Homo-oligomer: A and B are copies of this chain.
């Protein structure tokens, strides 16, 4: 089953069920008005949503209309928890070179990640709006896979965490690299340097991912395209230190996770240089190693990033994130 959220007059938008090919949508206010409302009582709501998805795929749903990703908000337009891991060994290694933070033993024994709350999550076609001075702050994208949970009780072990993964999405975790380092030094976590994140049009249930989902990881290349040129297509299933159930269990050690918690699997990164990178900083680290200096600039206003995952038949699984970087208009407040 695939779900999305359409823009409406309310911050949480309108939940829609999508057809498997992402072409058709149907609002379902009689089942759940929003995705958060659905996740709040998922056990009751899920079977009803699945029946609607079956009708859509059979071409027999009344009230269906063409799905326009440009009309979509993030599947969850706001979320109570985003825990985003740094979770691919190759990403650790390359970021470590840039930030002069070598990979340490703890990297292998427990997840690294920052937590965030987000009252505003960007939709798949929303501009990345940043202050004018952000062109000096090392604007970067990060292509990731993210899981959405229902309620996860405190103390849930990894072996029981997989069943709490209700949806999977793609994520663009926008990063301000020159602010990263200062925040790593302060030790209180990444905040200003992790300003916004965007999500794919569709959130997909694990079963609908078929063989690409093994219960812990998504085995698909995540294709990042930057200003129209392919930037990387590393496989999200390779080189991941901790699977999603382990990340969720880590988060739930000292708290209950509320329904609709988002766990980001980390910037997808493989050791094979031929597959490219999922963020600019990794490429810069490789360029420094090769040429003695970085040759790829960070993002500037006007730059465009696209993130998508295609299945074995070349079909878009989640729809594409497609964003342009734009300067914040003056006169805020």
* A residues neighboring B (CB under 8 Å): 10-11, 40, 78-83, 86, 101, 106, 112-120, 129-131, 134, 151, 153-157, 160-161, 176, 179, 183-193, 195-196, 250-251, 253-261, 328, 332-333
Contacts and interface: CB of A to CB of B under 8 A. Distances in A.
Given A131-B253, A155-B332, A81 B185 contact: no
Contacts of A156: 332-333
A188 B119 contact: no
Please give the count of copies of this chain that the complex contains: 2
A318 B79 CA distance: 27
A32 B184 CA distance: 41
A261 B191 CA distance: 14
B115 A115 contact: yes
A118 B333 contact: no
Contacts of A40: 10-11
A207 B134 CA distance: 36
Nearest to A107: B186
A40 B77 CA distance: 13
B186 A120 contact: no
Nearest to A130: B254
Contacts of A151: 119
